[in-house]
Structure 1
């Protein structure tokens, strides 16, 4: 490692430029990863964070909650079979305004049992009353549209007016804030009267589900079938994968050029007894050292920018995810150095000494 550190100290400008490029690439990787996670959460956090492990749906619904419609008899049948581990759920996307106002906001109504496992955790305000017909608990994202605790809102289709009694967090569906209401409150705005969309099951109770006209889909399948979810995540994950590949090629090119420039010195070192393994370890140490320094800087930049991003920006990067991305980036950097290592192995000491003279 002595040789590697001496070279880093001797060529500060050259290696500083390498670090600068690596910081930019790693920063972009981390930011796009955070954006992908944020968009995924914004698209289906109401499903992802719920206690439901799966959903009973209409057979021809393609595992989409909004396409499913169960009759009252089907809902009651599932409830009687699974008891407290079953929770009916009604879903309807809608547009709301404040009474006598023009600003429209897209939202999704979720009809739930206030005492069931689908009921949201309240962050501010009060939970839904069991018999309430004109109350909702809304996701905090609705506050971005100017709504606050105690405000009234009007459903555009039905004209029904509700009062916000509480706010919850991380409850969004298809990039819209979820408004939780009771089944009685849901009946007033249902476009298709009678029945609900699905029955959520907890504790993996639906693993062996079998009933005519109905199918069971686990939460991951339902999440993947939210409109646009798979396409959105697929595009972002492809971008992230290409960034890692680009990082490997860029680093490979940098270190290959640097290695070519010092072939004579490497040959002389071989001639005086330096082992190929020692020289290879020196290069790998340089790569890992520069990658770690770059990642420390890029992580600090990413979390600093994330702290000042507006709430409307769907960004979510956990320390664990950042650590995994950083580990993968170091791996790609080491793989990118293989080309340089192959040149070190092929260095001919006598020829290098001749060139040096």
Structure 2
């Protein structure tokens, strides 16, 4: 270990350069991880916040279920009775609105029964009530856009007026802030035709049926009986717009960075080992064992990789603080630690490229065997 530290000090320029490369790679992996988590939260946080275990869709909707699936009350009642569990309708659609103060916003309208278990808790104002269908509880993200409790929100083209009575957490769906309205109001938003009279009847349908707990009867049997498809809440995330594509793209970038890290570290230490060939042969001639030379090399690599990874973690966390809430970025401590540990592990794995040359150092080289 003493010799490893001496070499680090003697060639500090080279090791500093290598360490800076590890810092940048680790920071890049951390930043990509933060964007992956942030984009996922910005896409499905409203779904993740639902107090439900499963979601039931119509069987004819094989993708984009929240946009394509429609269930009626008859099916919901029959499903609820056969399942033997608490179930409530859920409607999801994306629309636009304008407040009475002229603020234009996009919103993901979640239609829920005000007395059902999907009705959101509020951080300010009051909750939805069955007595007033013209109310809405907004996400904190809509509050950031300029919508406040007490405002009147008018749905574009439909003229449906909603009074903002409360605000809940920072929840969104498909990168659009969530807004919770009574189910009857959601049906007007989803099925009304622009210019139609307000008294025009709309279908008594909704996007899905949310289950508080798994059905007592086999979900496959219930799906076959009622022409539905039951998904766990986590499986339903893929029905959110853009979720799967974003996850695949960002995860692919992370995988490539994990592949790059060991190659960069391995290439550096391979060159460094070649340059140290005579010194390694001298150490062997002086009686150093192969095990000691291996420990010496691994110690150098560990110091460079661990220090560089720690620097990358600090840089990635600093970027997260810098961007704040301007972009969808989220890097919890557990995610950061896991990511950095993986970077350090694959970086150290790259040093395996140099170990064979270290153990094959020939002490006869320093004793004139080549002369």
TM (normalized to structure 1)? 0.94
Closer/same/farther in 2, CA of residues 131 and 231 from structure 1, 3 Å limit: same
- Partner residue, 1:273: 287
Structure 1 residues 299, 70: CA separation in 2 closer, same or farther (over 3 Å shift)?
Answer: same
Runs (4+) of structure 1 exceeding 3 A deviation are 79-84, 352-357
**Which residue, 292, 314, 322 being the options, matches 1:300?**
314
The Cα shift of 1:352 comes to 4.3
Question: What secondary structure, in the 3-state scheme, does the structure 2 residue paired with 1:21 have?
Answer: helix
Question: How far did residue 161 of structure 1 move?
Answer: 1.1
Which residue matches 2:198?
none
Is residue 124–residue 168 contact of structure 2 (8 Å, CA) maintained in 1? yes
Mapped contact 1:35–1:315 kept (Cα < 8 A): yes
Deviation sequence 1:12-32 (CA, Å, 0-9, x none): 222111111110110000000
Structure 1 counterpart of 2:51: 51
The reply to whether residue 241 of structure 1 matches residue 255 of structure 2 is yes
Structure 1 residue runs without a partner (length 5+) = none
- 1:20-35 maps to which residues of 2 (within 5 A)? 20-35=20-35
Counterpart residue number, 1:201: 211
Pair 255,159 (structure 1): closer, same or farther in 2 beyond 3 Å: same
Shift of 1:317: 1.1
RMSD: 2.0
The answer to whether the 8 A contact 2:98-2:105 is kept is yes
**Per-residue displacement from partner, 1:81-106 (whole Å, max 9, x unpaired)?**
456621211112111112473x5422
8 Å contact kept, 2:258–2:343: yes
SS for the counterpart of 1:316 is coil
Q: Which residue in 1 is equivalent to 2:92?
A: 91
Alpha-carbon shift at residue 206 of structure 1 (Å): 7.0
Unaligned runs of 5+ in 2: 192-201
CA contact (8 A) 1:97 1:155 kept: yes
Cα drift, residue 186 of structure 1: 2.2
Q: Which deviates more from structure 2 when the two are superposed, residues 128-137 or residues 203-212?
A: 203-212
Q: Give the one of 253, 270, 274 matched to 1:256.
A: 270
Matches within 5 A, 1:171-186: 171-186=171-186
